[in-house]
Amino acid sequence: MSRTLLSKAKGIQFVRRNTRHDATHASINSISKRAFDVACALGALLFLSPLLLAIAVLIKLDDGGPVLFRQRRIGRDGRHFPFLKFRSMSVNAEAALAELIQRDAEAAKEWNKYKKLKKDPRITKIGHFIRRSSIDELPQLINILTGDMSVIGPRPIMSDQIDDYGSNFDHYCAVRPGLSGLWQVSGRNEKTFQERASLDAEYVKSWTFFGDVKLVAQTVPVVLLSKGSF
């Protein structure tokens, strides 16, 4: 007998079916992955707390704006959650992006392909450093503790990126989005958004607990050497 799980995001519906045996196995995997997530997030927050405090102070001193950037992202089963980052862009970043894309054809082409800009004028002084070092992502350790994210998984996407995921969106919604993942250790920002979606689907289809441990180990040198970041 099968169980049908229905979820919606941006009006899109996907279906996930599990047999009773698969459900039991999935439950064991889910518990082990969650325990790993909590242990890693708690340990990292305790160890990095002085750094997190220092970065928060520097961001505030830089332009007086908010320390954290909050954005509505899509999580497991299509549910939305408040995604956290250290703010690395100007306060009016969204309006600045819209204006830039409208007047600069090359910037618009780059944004449509990668959903990122190598020379992004919206980034603040401290923002360049925390983005290149990936320090801006560390507040997501809180997202992990609240159960909205995982240490390893697809990077959280916005509703307007669903269409770019195509058929891979079902795989994306099957797991919690991650702080790091296969995309990060496979070229990161050098990959197109479509390549990123394919890597996310590959991760979900071939997931193992020890695969997550391996990806955590591979993430460390990628972050330290700033591979694929800008």
pLDDT at residue 24, as a whole number: 57
Instruction: Judge whether 136 lies within some domain.
Output: yes
What is the residue range of 187's domain? Answer: 18-88+123-224
Least Cα distance to 58 among 125, 137, 120 occurs for 125
Q: Checking DSSP bridges between strand 150-152 and strand 80-86, what pairing results, if any?
A: unpaired
Q: Is residue 230 part of a domain?
A: no
User: Does residue 77 lie in a domain region?
Assistant: yes
The residue to which tokens 């972050």 are assigned = 223
Does the residue 116 lie in any domain?
no
For 67-104, write each residue's pLDDT tens digit. Answer: 999 999 999 999 999 999 999 988 887 787 878 888 88
Contact 182, 101 (CB under 8 A): no
With respect to residue 4, please indicate whether it lies within any of the assigned structural domains. no
Mean pLDDT, range 173-193, rounded to an integer = 88
The pLDDT-based confidence of 6 (bands split at 50, 70, 90) is very low
> 18-59, pLDDT tens digit by residue?
555 566 567 888 899 999 999 999 999 999 999 999 999 999
Where does the pLDDT of residue 191 fall: very low under 50, low under 70, confident under 90, or very high at 90 and above? Answer: confident
Query: Do residues 139 and 110 make contact, with C-beta atoms less than 8 angstroms apart?
Result: no
97-141 per-position pLDDT tens digit = 878 888 888 888 887 877 778 778 888 989 989 998 999 999 999
The helices-and-strands tally (H runs, E runs) of the chain is 9, 6
In a domain, 138, yes or no: yes
Mean pLDDT, all residues of the chain: 86
- Would the pLDDT of 190 be above 50? yes
Residue 118 lies inside a defined structural domain of this protein: no
* Total number of domains in the chain: 1
Pairing between β-strand 150-152 and β-strand 178-180 as defined by DSSP bridges = parallel
CA distance 180 to 218: 10
